[in-house]
Structure 1
Amino acid sequence: MSDSIAVKLSASVSSVIALVCLTWWLSYNPTARLATHIPGMDNRPTESEASKLRAAEADQVRIGEFLETYASTQPPALRGEWPRFRGSKFNNISTEPVRLASTWSEQGPKQLWSVALGEGHAAPAVADGRVYVLDYDEQNKGDALRCFSLADGSELWRRWYRVRVKRNHGYSRTIPAVADGYVVTIGPRCHVMCVDVESAELKWGIDLEKELGTETPLWYTGQCPLIDDSIAVIASGGNALLLGVELATGTIAWQTPNPKGYQMSHSSVMPATLFGKRMYIYCAKGGIVGVSAEEVDRGELLWESPLWNPSVMAPSPVILPDGRIFVTGGYGAGSALLQVTEKNGGYAVDELMKYKPDGGMASEQQTPIFYQNHFFAILPKDAGVLRKQLVCYASDDITTPVWTSGTTNRFGLGPYLIADGKMFVLDDDGVLTMLEVSTTAFKPLAQAKVMDGTDAWGPMALAGGRLLLRDAHKMICLDISAPSS
């Protein structure tokens, strides 16, 4: 009897428990403790923030990240070099003993090779039989330091990194510097890279925008790096006016303070010796400056002046032995002649003259050549009746030309250099002109169309009788040496 009651009681308890559980289950709201949040309140980024994060990730630059090699053998070590912007002596004058031809056939000099390049104006440096160009790879969206054989144009290797650059009169601009077993480059958006010349090993890189607060110029970086005493000298603007970086380690050896906030221009730093003092001279946005290049006080600001401060400038300063400095720029800037003097243990800067583009010696893009106490250049498009003509001015009268090339010989924004008593000038359309270097008259020797010539503005390079030229899309190598006797 008791067992029967126990069974019935157990069944009743089980029924009650089951009923309670069923009631709880039916009444339970699983979302009762969930809080309703608007987007952004659940620790997720908003769409705007997510977009910025994606952009930042895409814009993250790993300088020198990739290496591609194409040849296992070393190129022939041909004679001659053009190791930096404006050549070995920073003056666009070759002093190599190679004799050059004085005339050409109608087809022009023999083309030895050609290579396709990304759209731009970056020009080559040459050393030890190698040609270095900081190209922009439009397909992979990256700056690419490309190394070619001077002998045949074959590509040996390329060291590159991804960086987003919008087309703006092409992409690339600058010329590498080669010295002491290293090659240094500056990309369109201020990325500095140092690479071993033979192995292509990445040594170091600096993002000037992010690390030094540099403001990239309007048409990207036009400044070409300078190597001096195993130091890469860069005019960064931003947190430092100039800085020196050890080639071997990437350590910043010195910085020039920048309290006045000078900014990077399209111009390049030029080394000079004035009054027995080695210095770096630079046309910044904000003014022209002289910084010590001596070991004892390297990086110290020696002098500065606001007397030359156009909004846009590409040509570099031309320094004369007597302390005069010729500066020029495009877009209406004209030119100025400044005088640096020693004064009271320091330096003073005075303006000797200043004029508009039609007032005398001027240049829009290329840096004029100073040779035999005369200036040679192509006048800018706003120079009046002499626009785009090749001209020669005596250094003691830069407002009256000694000679001009005439209205039938206009050259646009093209480059030029001097070698073996001759001057070589490339016009916008790819026509190469050779003339005798004369301080009395325009004396053309030969002329030929050698390139298609779309925006053929990149500076020339000459090494061992081989002339390297480029237009917006292609680089060619011409043999301009004299025939062997």
Structure 2
Amino acid sequence: MTKRTINIILILTGTIGFVTVFWWLNADPTKDFIVNLEGADNRGEGNAFVQEVAIGEHFESFSEDFTPLTETWTNFRGADFDNISKSPVKLVDGFGIEGPDIKWSMELGEGHSGAAIWKGLAYILDYDEEERADFLRCISLTDGTELWKRGYDVAIKRNHGMSRTIPAVTEDYIVTIGPKCHVMCLDRETGEMRWGLDVVKEYQNEIPFWYTGQCPLIDNGVAIIATGGSKMMVAVDCETGEKLWETPNPKGWKMSHSSVMPFTFGGRKMYVYSPVGGMLAVAADGPDAGQILWETSAWNHSVVAPSPVCLPDGKIFMTAGYGAGSMLLQLSENNGAFTIETLDEYAPKDGLACEQQTPVLWNDHLFGIMPKDGGANRNQLVCVHPNNPKEIVWSSGKESRFGLGPYFIADNKMFILSDDGTLTIARPSVEKYIQLEQVKIIENGHDAWAPFALADGYLLLRDSKTMVCIDLNVK
């Protein structure tokens, strides 16, 4: 082989090597990859395929026997939307040697939906995997007998459970929102169908990650639903199904897991909501009903489960999980015009924050359970003053940690449910954590996240597959 040939081979080899290295350094091997967003797994068919659903098509009646009672728990967080029971019924401080008085338990489809109660009847929206259908179930509060159920066929894949919402109930109506945003309104007593609304089909919204978590609201016989999509919010007459108003959504904000909270401030009643994209309030009455009174993009996170905590002085506390932390805002009113400004924003390790449940305002203090990224106070119950939620007044301590389960106040006691079905009773205090009782309610409990419901001393709680009724009445 001649020297000239060798030089040509060396030049060609070098050129090929240079081109190969250049291509390797500049190529993007991830260009065809799809980012695996938290919660985007197994979301079902998405919005590309919208199943035709005959809302309310199925009905079965089983019994008419139940014990009429007097009290109610009408919706998410109770009639006053504050998660504080106003009942005069005296409840136990502990369970003694005999343990809790469990009246009944019931297997449910996997999920985190809670109950509403009306004078001896409990209502829960449940997904039946075998029948592949959403069902509103009417159950006797005292003994767990199922009286009737009404529902509709809808294909749902398991995504850390299915059902997540609580019905809204009045003497006349029940309104539910299913995992895929199907709204159903029924006659409360008979289960007779009133009307249905397919929010995805009607408003082209996106079903949130892990399905719908928004709980419906009934206000003076009108159902209030935050839709996202082509509109932001809609008011529907429960009797007729007529849409009374629809709120524009020019910024295209999306439905979150948060629920709409009624609030009266500056002489106006409003519906405060935290969609994905910001926070806003819609006029609840008057000639401008349905119009946006104020809005802000300062609070903007992709996963929002807790609902706004609206304080009497116009402060609004908002928190979320997945590192979002919390924000304190100040609402002001001047001659009928509203403005909203941010007072403080901080990471979850720097003050009160919650991932899933909404903090409770009691005795001018906020109570909540810190998320797993809450620093030294992670998973602890903490107390703060709302003027400075970064300053922890007290925490439950490293020996008393909880999870993502519910907490509320009744008969001057705080009830807390851990993920594994352990119930804790504490004394609400603005000075220190006082634990009264702790007992396992659900053996092998898992993801016990559904909000509580309480009426006539009967407490309803659940984990991902089992609902339990406990009689808390002092004997």
TM-score after normalising by structure 1? 0.86
Choose which of 398, 420, 425 in structure 1 pairs with 2:389.
398
Q: 1:216 and 2:188 equivalent?
A: no
Q: 1:206 & 1:391 partners in 2: Cα distance?
A: 40
1: CA distance, partners of 2:135 / 2:219: 24
Shift of 1:342: 1.3
Once residues 143 and 286 of structure 2 are traced to their aligned partners in structure 1, the CA distance between those partners, rounded to angstroms, is: 41
Segments of 5+ residues of structure 1 without an aligned counterpart are: 1-51
Q: Does residue 86 of structure 1 match 2:77?
A: yes
Secondary structure, counterpart of 1:402 in structure 2: strand
Give the one of 93, 103, 126 matched to 1:102: 93
Instruction: Report the secondary structure of 1:79's partner residue.
Output: coil
> How much has 1:166 moved relative to structure 2?
1.0
Corresponding residue SS for 1:99: coil
Residues 247 and 180 of structure 1: CA distance in aligned 2, closer, same or farther (over 3 Å): farther
Conserved in 1, the CA contact under 8 Å of 2:66 and 2:145? no
For 1:459, which of 442, 446, 451 is the aligned residue? 451
* Correspondent of 1:353 among 339, 344, 348: 344
- Give 2:246's match in structure 1, choosing from 247, 255, 260: 255
Task: Name which of 447, 469, 472 aligns with 1:477.
Answer: 469
Once the two structures are TM-superposed, the CA of residue 107 in structure 1 deviates from its matched residue by: 5.1
SS of corresponding position for 2:274: strand
Q: Does 1:63 align with 2:84?
A: no
Q: Which residue of 1 aligns with 2:460?
A: 468
Distance 1:189 1:107 in 2: 43
Aligned to 2:163: 172
- Superposed displacement of residue 68, structure 1: 0.8
Q: Distance in 1 between matches of 2:98 and 2:377?
A: 29
Q: Deviations over 1:17-73 (max 9, x none)?
A: xxxxxxxxxxxxxxxxxxxxxxxxxxxxxxxxxxx9xx979x3211111001101x2
Q: Which moved more, 1:222-231 or 1:341-350?
A: 341-350
- Contact 1:78-1:151 within 8 A present in 2 as well: no
Report what 2:307 is aligned to: 316
Q: How many residues align?
A: 428
Correspondences of 1:334-413 after superposition (within 5 Å): 334-343=325-334, 345-413=336-404
Aligned residues of 2:266 and 2:336 also touching (Cα < 8 A): no
* More displaced stretch, 116-125 vs 95-104: 95-104
| Equivalent residue, structure 2, for 1:436 | 427
Say which of 75, 88, 111 aligns to 2:66. 75
**CA distance, structure 1, for counterparts of residue 215 and residue 426 of structure 2:** 28
Distance 1:231 1:214 in 2: 21
Q: What letter is aligned with 1:90? A: F
- Matched AA of 1:348: T
Aligned pairs for 1:217-256 within 5 A: 217-256=208-247
Amino acid across the alignment from 2:465: H
1:134 is matched with 125
State the shift of 1:108 in Å. Answer: 3.2
Larger mean CA deviation between 191-200 and 391-400 belongs to 391-400
Distance 1:128 1:464 in 2: 8
Question: Which amino acid in structure 1 is aligned with residue 261 of structure 2?
Answer: M
**Cα separation, 1, equivalents of 2:426 and 2:132:** 40
Distance 1:92 1:108 in 2: 25
- Report the secondary structure of 2:93's partner residue: coil
Rate the CA distance shift 1:402–1:106 in 2: closer, same or farther, 3 A. Answer: farther
| AA of the residue aligned to 1:468 | L
What SS does the corresponding residue of 1:475 show, helix, strand or coil? Answer: strand
1:303-358, Cα deviation, whole Å (9 max, x unpaired): 11001111111000000000000000000000000001114641111000000110
Superposition TM-score, scaled by structure 2 size: 0.88
Question: Greater Rg, structure 1 or structure 2?
Answer: 1
Cα distance in 1 for partners of 2:412, 2:287 equals 39
TM-superposition CA deviations, 1:100-137 (whole Å, max 9, x none): 11222245320011111000000000012110000000
Find the aligned partners of 2:329 and 2:65 in 1 and give their Cα distance: 47
Q: Percent identity?
A: 52
Distance (whole Å) between structure 2 residues aligned to residue 153 and residue 180 of structure 1: 21
SS for the counterpart of 1:211 is helix
Q: CA deviation at 1:79?
A: 2.2
Q: CA deviation digits over 1:397-426, x for unaligned, max 9?
A: 211211111111111101011011100001
User: Does the Cα contact within 8 Å between 2:407 and 2:451 map onto a contact in 1?
Assistant: yes
> What amino acid sits opposite 1:470 in the alignment?
R
Give the Cα–Cα distance (whole angstroms) in 1 for the partners of residues 288 and 459 of structure 2: 39
* Conserved 8 A contact 2:171-2:188: no
The 8 Å contact of residues 102 and 468 in structure 2, kept in 1 or not, is answered as yes
